[in-house]
Amino acid sequence: MIRGLSHMTFIVQNLDRMQAILTTVLGARKVYDSGEETFSLSRERFFLIGEEPGDADAPAPIWVAIMEGESLPSRTYNHVAFKIAEADYATLLGRIRALGLEVREGRSRVAGEGWSIYFHDHDNHLFELHTGTLGERLQRYASGRSDDS
């Protein structure tokens, strides 16, 4: 049976450049660097995103792997979204822009489903930083459209 998400792996041309995105924008901590060794397909680094659990109810950090390889050939809306606090929105948007990353215009939103920052890395991966939750979105969608949307 599935017990949760194990990890996410992103193939990137430049490990250092992706590490800067992970650490600067997502607050990741590097926990492994293969250096010149290749235990897998290519050189790789592992990161943890999120706080170490302080109690049994805290979510586990997210394991993100990056591996050296070719960029995605094109950009799509396929993406990974990370939960952020609304209070951190402006700070994180500033960090993304300071790295020179392309911020993608977000899709239209209805009030109550949260706010998002979408940005592409240098290898055509799309990331989203989102303030809402699934429960909030389902509740908002269940209430139907309103004139303020």
Share of the chain above pLDDT 90, in %: 63
Sheet holding 126-130, edge to edge: 79-83, 126-130, 116-120, 102-104
Boundary residue ending a domain (20, 45, 69): 69
Q: What mean pLDDT is reported for the chain? A: 88
pLDDT over threshold 70, residue 124: yes
Any idea how long the chain is?
149
For residues 61 and 85, membership in a common domain is answered with no
Stated pTM of the model: 0.84
Do 76 and 131 have their domain in common? yes
C-alpha angle with apex 13: 47 to 46, nearest 5 degrees? 10
Tell me phi and psi for residue 118, to 5 degrees.
-110, 135
Q: Is the pLDDT of residue 149 over 50?
A: no
Euclidean distance between CA atoms 10 and 122, whole angstroms: 12
For the chain, what is the domain count? 2
Is residue 64 domain-shared with residue 136, that is, in the same domain?
A: no
| 16: containing domain | 1-69
Whichever domain contains 29, its CATH number is 3.10.180.10
Please pick, among 44, 51, 70, 105, the residue that the annotation labels catalytic.
44
Boundary residue ending a domain (40, 69, 98)? 69
Mean of the pLDDT values across residues 122-136?
A: 91
**Residue 108 and residue 140 in one domain:** yes
Do 96 and 146 belong together in one domain? yes
For residue range 59-93, list pLDDT tens digits in order: 788 999 999 999 999 999 999 999 999 999 999 99
Which of 131, 129, 122 lies closest to 10 in space, CA to CA? 122
- Judged against a pLDDT cut of 70, whether residue 108 lies above it is answered with no
Q: How far apart are the first and last CA of the chain?
A: 40
- Active site includes 44? yes
The domain boundary residue, chosen from 69, 93, 125: 69
In 10 A of CB 22, how many CB atoms? 21
For residues 97-101, give the mean pLDDT: 95
pLDDT digits (tens, 9 = 90+) for 130-140: 998 888 888 87
